[in-house]
Structures are given as structure tokens and as C-alpha cells.
Structure 1
């Protein structure tokens, strides 16, 4: 596969399906945190209002205290305090100090409000996204890589938090500044204020074009981040294979490829940004220069004639001009910074579309919220003419029909791709049948709750997964209220207690990520101990001893014999010696049952099972040519489907 084989966004379908993702973010999640949001908005408004006081007070002090061109008017201030110029200066200074100290308090409240709002939403969105993700059907995960999913749970959710905190904070701050400053400017001199506002429509147009250009670029960046994460996650997980295959250079090239795709996508967005923001500053600067020049003419004319220059009619004093210049500077830069808010919004919009698209991913498996609890009394399992396919183009199992009485063991055998694992996935209702029904004690699995079904079915896989944590935590996984005595008893039954005792910290030994500190046989016995502790009425064994040595297989088989006693058991096995004592053996080929009976009966039939037995007994020379040719065709078909055929 080439390093650029998959250029499509793996979540493009989900992203396009999400409608009004930002509106949904505020409606579905913002409403739960209204108090923090209101605190942030009100505090931001008050803080910015106080920030406007120093320039206004400066202009007032210049005209009324220093130059004494205007009367000193201070409502609510005792006349004795402002009877002298020094007193007037101290009052103005006190008001300036109040604006700084009060502003600091409101800035703290503003930051608390927006941070609390953003953090709570980030937590809720991440947990809801994970919860929705883990409830999706297994075929969804077959099409997505772990790194891509991690990118949504981590990068995209974090990007939302940054917008909700920094972006909203800045938006309200800039909004208050722009409205407040514009109001003050119009109050002092509406004619000069119009001059100062000349850049506003130009900035608005440039911002609109920026949004139009940057939005698809950010969607491309989000997609490329997921691909980088997927490649790195795969390579780190397979580092042993890479080293043993001497393919470090090859994998470095592949990482370089996806990293280069991310670089190109991100650099395209960066180039747009670094052109946009300097252009905004230039436009805003032009407005500032115009204000300075025209305002200066206003002051000169007022000083010499007491009027206004040219066609203008409103005069402007020195103090008012100083206020105008200071506020215009504060007005200009917020207009330029508003593009940063738009930039953050577009990035958040791209992330929100991926998040809500994933949340809304329809599940093929539909559970009735009013479903009954599964009641298992005998453990009788019936497959009634079951047909199933993962998509409309291919049927994996067809017309499968058998019954297993409570306490019996049924083994599923057959060549690779025959549909064995699929049959058992239907029992655990990882998928729903297309035709027919699967029943436990007469109850159709589609009519019972998933939790109750999986509570009664235990699963021991060939590929044992252990979570990062202690041995004790892994044995008790799914049976979280188990006592230490029950955990030890389960480990003894699984032939695991002795080796656990020899670990450095016994049951408190950390097993490492995915259990890398334990051997395959040890991991398998912990998985069996987990199933023993769960004590299910129905047990599924999926190649439970295929990847261990003969001595370990003997130990595992002893623990399995204890585990399967008096339980309805389903076992998949390529190593036929492990299931020859099963009550029933079902032989699958091409998704259909071709043989069904006991070990001795199937050997006597001299069919597919007998031939498979002969292969494992080393009697290859005695096998019919037709069987060998069919095996070759099956293998070729499996290889051509690149793993799509289910075992």
C-alpha cells in the first residue's frame, strides 16, 4: 500500500451529516452551564467598561484640571473635595485607580466564568462522544483506525475548549470594546467618529472572504491530523515487528508521508492567516492615521478660531482629542483581532462537525429501550435458519440451524473465512441477524436488553486484551465488586494463582500496557480467570489455546475443563484435538453448515472434518486432490479479500 493510498477524510460522511454543529454545542451543552456563562459575559462587560474610564478621565483632566478650558463637573462628589485644582486632580486619580482595581476584579470573574463554562462543556462533550463511540457496532471500528478516533476525542474536543474559553472571552471583550468605544467617540464628536470608523466595512469584507477561504482548509487539517495519529499509533503498537523486520527506514518514509500531508494542509491554512491578519492591521492603521490627521486639524482650528475645520461643524478640544486618539487606538486593534476570533471559530466549527457527526453515527444494532431482561434457566441456545452479511454485497453465514442444550459443548470448525467467529458474534449480539433468529431459552436476542444478554455470556478470546493496571484489576474487570477471596479462587480455577504469586508484587503487579509484561499463556489464563469470576451461564471460547506452547496448552485446557463444566459452551478451534470431546461439532464452509455430529461420527463420514483432522495428524499424502485444490482456492480468495472474510 502506498503512503498516500487513503486521501479521503475517514469522517467525511459523519462531518457532512452534522447540522449546525456550533448551535448544537451551545444548545445541548451550554444550557447546562448557563450560570458560568452569564458570569463571564457580565464580568467581561463590566471589566471592559472600566477599561474605558482612564482615557476618558485623561481627556477630562486635561481640559478641566490642567488647561481649565471647561468646568470641572463631578456628580456625587462633595464640592469640598474638588474646590482646588489639587483636589480635582486627586479625585480624577482616585477614579483611575478605582477603574484599575475594579477592572482586575471583574477580569478575574470573567476568566472564572469562561474557563468554568469551557471546561465543563469539554468534559461533557468528551465523555458523551466516547459513550456514543463505544456503543457503535463493531463494523464501524473495522473501518476506522484508533488514531483517527483518538484525534476526535483529544484534539477536536480540546479545540472546542480553546474556542469556548479564549474565543468567546475575546469575542465578548472585543464586542464590548467596539460598542463602548464607538459610543464614546460619537458622544464626543460624531463627525470625527465617522472618520475613525471608515475601516469597519472594509475589515468586515476581508473577514467574510477569510472565513470563506479558511473553512475548507481547516477541515483538511483536521483530517490530516487523524491520519498522522493513526500512523503513529499503528507503528508504536507494532514496534517489535518493525525492528524484527528491519523496516525502520520504510516506516520512517511512511510517517514522513502522512506528516508531509499534514504539513501541506496546515501550511495552507497558515499562509491564509499570515496574509489576512497583517492586512487587517494595515486597514485598521489607515483608520488610525486618518483620525490622527483629521483630529489634529480639528484641534488646531478650535485653538485658533474656536470652530471646526472645513465642512465640519463640531469643535474638538485638546483633552477630547487625547481621548479620541487613545480610544481609537484601542478601537483599531480589537477590529484587527476580531479576525483571530473568526479564525478560532472556524477551527472549532470543523472540530464540532466531526464530533457531532460521530455522535450521530447511526448504529446498525438497534436496542429497544423497553426490552425485557434475559432470563437464563437451562442455557438452551437455538440458531433458527440464521443468515447474516456485513453489507448488502456479501453473505457471511447462510441458513445456519442448530440447537445446543443447556450444559452441552458445541464446537465450530472449518477453514479460514468459513464464518465461525461471525456465528458467535451473533450470539453475543455484536450484530443482528438479517434473517432467522438466535434464541436463549426461547427468548429472541433482539427482544432482550444487551446488558442482560452480555451479563449471561462470557467470552474468552484468542487475542487476550489486558488493560494497563494490576493483575487484580484485570481479573476483576467486569466483576468490580468481587472480593479478594473470589479473585484468588477464580485465579486458582484458571491455573493462574501460582504464577501470579511469583510475580514481583503478586496480585498487585502492574501488567503493563496490553499486558506486555506477561507471556501469552499467562495473559490467557488471566482472561480465563476473568471469565470464571464472571460465572456466566453461557461461555464462548474463541481459539483460546491456539497461540501457546504444548505445556501451557495443557494447563489452559485443565482450567477450561473446569470452566466449561455444567455450562453451555461454544468453542472455535483450529487445533481439533482440543474439541474432539465436544457434544456437538458443527463444520462450516462458505458460511454454511456442511457437517454436524460428534467427533467419531464426522471421522466416519470422511468429509471435510475428517480431512482437516488428517492435516493436523500429518496425513497430508493421503488427502484427496479435490480437498487440496479447494483449500488452495479458499486461501487465494481470502488473500484477495485482504482480510475482509470473517473467520
Structure 2
């Protein structure tokens, strides 16, 4: 089955005729929490429609009775009635717009929040396969594109439908023959609008995919990293041309979307506007054939009603087209809401009031793809007593980082189990895992906010003094204090105001503030130069004291003092022991140490 740009496989599409009603019912369920307000809108719409229909009947009385009989009192009363109907219709319209817009915006809020909350629960694997711009596009472009539909379409549908029904009933009350003449082409109009709606839905789906693609390009190429890469590689002009090409495709889709069925819908408007001439001709022919004569008031009132029928009928047809178009947007949002969540909290989590920090891997196997027979980890058995340190080393691709991801449940094991203080991590809630396990990775992520806000992200209730103490422990306080605005300094996009070593120490300070009993260091110093690494390592040593520490190491110089060292090879434990024991065994670890020494000598030379 084909994959889309996100890397995940969309659900197979069923028969459209059975799929759309189910989708419409699901959309209607979004409005269920606001039934009371929508009922009030319905009453306002009904009142507005009934009041507006009264105006042609008042006009008929003016033309047939008040003016011919020179009844000025009745004429004044009828004229005031027409003015009153206009005022009441306007007031009802404003009130229903206010309420329906409020309900629509609340539904939009519920959708945005629902999608964001769902994405927060998605496993790490989803984000490694999905472009950030695609996720942003679903929340911004797709939900934003539904705004007109959600905020006004429902009200427009009810309002116009009520107006059409009330107007048709009034027309039948005036003359059934003229009514049939007015409505004879309505089935054709409905068929045309449905054709146009299907066409626009298909184009809208393509347009939203193109907008997602453009959003991904912007997110990637206009980030700080993207700009640096583009300019240093001399690709700025090429990136601009690529963006222009994507933008040109979007222009074409926008034009096609706006023009799809435009001539056919315009033809409907022209025919509807020409119907009064048909009515006058029909009335004349009926009289000529011996039928009863029509009074001027009746004929004018009927034509007025028919003209009043034009706007809601065309609006209804247009609304139908817009609803079919919006189904494409709802479908893209529902695809995200329906994504399976592989890693979920247990229904009845085990309570761990305090976390000592013992970590065990019991017969652990793991594969990123369950269908893949050769997984990433095989038969891992490890015990890390509370307060001790474990270093995991090995060649690139041996499964070191994957092993560390299993402890905080960024992934779940394929077989076996990982325990924290004897409890399977799958039996603990996410708050317990986050409280008990801290992770410092090679790539430090900082928000575009102040230094204090970035540190306080670990513990929102932390005081200023606690933040400064954490920074001192991470040996970064002096650098922060030397900044013009100190802890109130903006760190810049992804922390580019700071060097690699400073960002790593900020990450350590953030973790110190959280004070987790278990600390995972995933190659936290591998990208740093030797001098910076030494400073960061001192901060790591201070942070690791008294904690259970799992260190994923690239440079072996950082793990010599670990209580135990494990060498992974192709996802299996090849060796284990202390630094001295493994050197004496002269196996894979000793070979890795010699490789590091040769690399260091070559760098010095």
C-alpha cells in the first residue's frame, strides 16, 4: 500500500457512498456539546424566516386593498409592518451569527486541541517518520480551512433551508400553478451542485497536500539549521526555485478549486433570475386559456417570494458544494485523530511513591518493525542496581541508543520486559516515568524563550534561586550571569545563541532541576571538542552522583569509571565488566579503546 509524505500508511478508503454519511455523522457529533446554543440558533432562524415571508403578503394587501381603496390608515399600518419585519429579520440575523460563530470557534478549538493532544500521545517512531511541516499543516491549514464551514455553514444550511420551506409554503398559498413553474428545474440544479461538490472535494484534497508540502519546505529550509546549510552549500537560489515550483503548483490548484463548476453554478443563478419572466408569461397564458385572472398584488407578491427564494436556494446549493469540499479537510483531520497509539498508559497503573532507581532488562528483544525478523536488540539481560552506573558502548548501529529509549518507554519492548524498582515500566503511568527518569541526549533542544523559561520547563514551580543553583551545579551559571539580561536572555531559535557545550550544560541544569533518580545520558558529549567535553563531563559527574546512571558512550574516555560496562554488537551483549576487566580480556572493548587512542593521536598529529 502506498505511503504519503508523512511516512505512515493511510487507512484504506471504502466506498464513497457509504463513507460520506458516516463522516457526516461524525462531524455532527462535534457539535453535540453545544446542543443548547444550536437550538437557540434554530429558533432564531425559524423566527427570522417566518417574519421575512410575511413581507410579500403585506405588499399584496397594500397593492390590492390599501392603495385601490384609499385606506390610508391601513396603508400606514402595513408599511410599518414591512419596516418592522426588516428590523426583526436583521436583529435575528445578528444574534444567530453571534451564537453560531461562537459555537463554530469552540468546535475549532476542540478539534485543534484534540489533534494536538493526540499527537502528544503518539510514539517517538511517528515523529521520526513524519515531516514537522506536515504536522503543522494539519493543525494550521486543514483546521483553519474548515473555519468557514464550521462557523457559518451549519447556520447557513438551517437558515436557508427554513427560508426555502417557508417561502415554498407561502408560494403554494398564493398559487400552486405558479409554484410548480418556479420549482420545475430544481432537481436539475441539485444534480449540478452535487457534481460540482465532488469535483471541488477532489481538488481540495490535492490542494491541502500541496500546502502541507510547502509548509514542510518552509519549516526545514527557513530554520536556523536550514539557512546555515543552504548558504554554506550555495543552495539558496536552488531552494528558492524549488519553493517557487511548489508555489506554482499551489497557484494552479487554487485557481482550479475556485473555478471548478463556476460556470455551471452561474448558469443556475441566471436561470433562477430569469424565472420571473417565465412566471409573467405563465400567468398570461393561464388567463388566456380561460383560467382565473391574477390580481396585481398576488402576482407581485408571488414574484417577490420567488425572488426571495433565489438567494436561499442558490446559497443552499453553494453550501452543499462547500460541505462536500470540507469533507476532504475533515478526512485529513480524522486520519490523525484515528491514528493508533501504540504506547498507552495502563488502566490501573502501579503506584511508586518513591523511585529508588534499580533498572533491569529481562530477556529483552526489540524491533522497530514487528514484521522484521532481524530486530535491533536480542536477548538483553542486564541489572543496574540503584545508585550505580552502567556504560553502554559499541559500534554505530549496534543498538545503544535504542536500549536507552526502552527505559522511559519512548518505545516498548517487542519481547521480555524492562523494570524500574522491580515494576514493569509498562505498568507505570507516564508521570511516574517522567518523574523518575531524566534523559540528556546528544542534541539539546531549547525553546525560543528565555534561559529561565527553558530551565523552568523541567519544573514550572521552581524558584529563581533553585534555577540558579541548578545552573551552578551544571557549571553554566557564570556564563548566564555574564549575559546582558542574565537569565532573562532569549536563547534564540533552538538555542543558537549558545555554543554546543553551553547548550549541553543548560540541558544538564534542566535535568538537575527535575532531580530524577535515574539518569540516561545518550552520547551527551560526543559532538563536543575535548576541552568543552571536559567541562561538560565535570557537570555530568556532579549530576550523576548518587543516581542510577545509564551512559551511552561514543568516546570511551567518559566511561572508564563506570561500575559496569556493556559492549553491544549487532544488538547483543558481546562483553560486560569493568574498564580494567574488559581491557584485560583483550576483546571488543579493548579494540574500541585502541581505536579511540589512535584517533586521538591522529588528531594531535
Shorter-chain TM-score: what band? over 0.9
Bigger mean CA offset, 339-348 vs 412-421: 339-348
Change (3 A) 1:604 1:568: same
Question: Which residue number in structure 1 is paired with residue 157 of structure 2?
Answer: 171
SS in 2 for 1:52: helix
Question: Which residue number in structure 2 is paired with residue 159 of structure 1?
Answer: 145
Question: Which residue number in structure 1 is paired with residue 68 of structure 2?
Answer: 67
Task: Provide, for residues 189-219 of structure 1, a one-character-per-residue CA deviation record: whole Å limited to 9, x for no partner.
Answer: 1101111112211111112322333333322
Say whether 1:187 aligns with 2:167: no
The offset of 1:12, in angstroms, is: 6.5
Bigger mean CA offset, 246-255 vs 577-586: 246-255
Say whether 1:230 aligns with 2:230: no
Change (3 A) 1:368 1:151: same
Bigger mean CA offset, 440-449 vs 531-540: 440-449
Change (3 A) 1:316 1:619: closer
Question: Which residue number in structure 2 is paired with residue 284 of structure 1?
Answer: 272
Say whether 1:239 aligns with 2:219: no
Change (3 A) 1:333 1:378: closer
SS in 2 for 1:482: coil
Question: Which residue number in structure 1 is paired with residue 23 of structure 2?
Answer: 21
Asked whether the 8 Å contact 1:374–1:449 carries over to 2, the reply is no
Question: Which residue number in structure 1 is paired with residue 450 of structure 2?
Answer: 470
- C-alpha distance in 2 between matches for 1:190 and 1:568: 87
Bigger mean CA offset, 376-385 vs 6-15: 6-15
Change (3 A) 1:9 1:315: farther
Question: Which residue number in structure 2 is paired with residue 250 of structure 1?
Answer: 238
- C-alpha distance in 2 between matches for 1:110 and 1:180: 18
SS in 1 for 2:550: strand
TM-score when scaled to structure 2?
A: 0.92
- C-alpha distance in 1 between matches for 2:255 and 2:301: 41
Aligned residues: 592
Question: Which residue number in structure 1 is paired with residue 261 of structure 2?
Answer: 273
Change (3 A) 1:105 1:336: closer
Asked whether the 8 Å contact 2:6–2:129 carries over to 1, the reply is no
Say whether 1:617 aligns with 2:597: yes
Asked whether the 8 Å contact 1:382–1:401 carries over to 2, the reply is yes
- C-alpha distance in 1 between matches for 2:25 and 2:196: 21
Question: Which residue number in structure 1 is paired with residue 427 of structure 2?
Answer: 447
The 5 Å alignment of 1:22-421 reads: 22-27=24-29, 29-68=30-69, 85-237=71-223, 238-295=226-283, 297=284, 308-310=287-289, 313-391=291-369, 392-393=371-372, 394-421=374-401
The offset of 1:374, in angstroms, is: 3.4
Bigger mean CA offset, 534-543 vs 92-101: 92-101
Asked whether the 8 Å contact 2:556–2:593 carries over to 1, the reply is yes
Say whether 1:599 aligns with 2:601: no
Asked whether the 8 Å contact 2:378–2:572 carries over to 1, the reply is yes
Asked whether the 8 Å contact 2:198–2:325 carries over to 1, the reply is no
Question: Which residue number in structure 1 is paired with residue 540 of structure 2?
Answer: 560
Asked whether the 8 Å contact 2:471–2:477 carries over to 1, the reply is yes
Change (3 A) 1:90 1:15: farther
Question: Which residue number in structure 2 is paired with residue 506 of structure 1?
Answer: 486
Change (3 A) 1:146 1:621: closer
Question: Which residue number in structure 2 is paired with residue 71 of structure 1?
Answer: none
Bigger mean CA offset, 577-586 vs 532-541: 577-586
The offset of 1:314, in angstroms, is: 4.6
Asked whether the 8 Å contact 1:14–1:358 carries over to 2, the reply is no
The offset of 1:619, in angstroms, is: 6.1
- C-alpha distance in 2 between matches for 1:330 and 1:493: 76
SS in 1 for 2:580: helix
Task: Provide, for residues 285-317 of structure 1, a one-character-per-residue CA deviation record: whole Å limited to 9, x for no partner.
Answer: 34343224324x27xx8xxxxxx3326x45321
- C-alpha distance in 2 between matches for 1:527 and 1:621: 31
Asked whether the 8 Å contact 1:16–1:357 carries over to 2, the reply is no
Task: Provide, for residues 386-417 of structure 1, a one-character-per-residue CA deviation record: whole Å limited to 9, x for no partner.
Answer: 10001122401111111111111111111211
Unaligned ranges ≥5, structure 2? none
Change (3 A) 1:58 1:552: same
Asked whether the 8 Å contact 2:345–2:429 carries over to 1, the reply is yes
Change (3 A) 1:558 1:358: same
The offset of 1:186, in angstroms, is: 0.9
The offset of 1:39, in angstroms, is: 2.1
What is the root-mean-square deviation in Å for CA atoms of aligned residues? 2.4
Bigger mean CA offset, 94-103 vs 50-59: 50-59
The offset of 1:514, in angstroms, is: 2.0
The offset of 1:163, in angstroms, is: 0.6
Bigger mean CA offset, 348-357 vs 255-264: 255-264
- C-alpha distance in 1 between matches for 2:295 and 2:8: 61
- C-alpha distance in 1 between matches for 2:592 and 2:83: 91
- C-alpha distance in 2 between matches for 1:51 and 1:167: 20
The offset of 1:280, in angstroms, is: 2.2
Change (3 A) 1:263 1:610: farther
- C-alpha distance in 1 between matches for 2:533 and 2:130: 34
Asked whether the 8 Å contact 2:198–2:324 carries over to 1, the reply is no
- C-alpha distance in 2 between matches for 1:619 and 1:269: 60
Unaligned ranges ≥5, structure 1? 69-83, 302-307, 623-647
Asked whether the 8 Å contact 2:521–2:549 carries over to 1, the reply is yes
Change (3 A) 1:366 1:513: same
- C-alpha distance in 2 between matches for 1:331 and 1:115: 25
Bigger mean CA offset, 339-348 vs 425-434: 339-348
Task: Provide, for residues 83-126 of structure 1, a one-character-per-residue CA deviation record: whole Å limited to 9, x for no partner.
Answer: x7222222112112211221222112101111111011111111
- C-alpha distance in 1 between matches for 2:434 and 2:280: 75
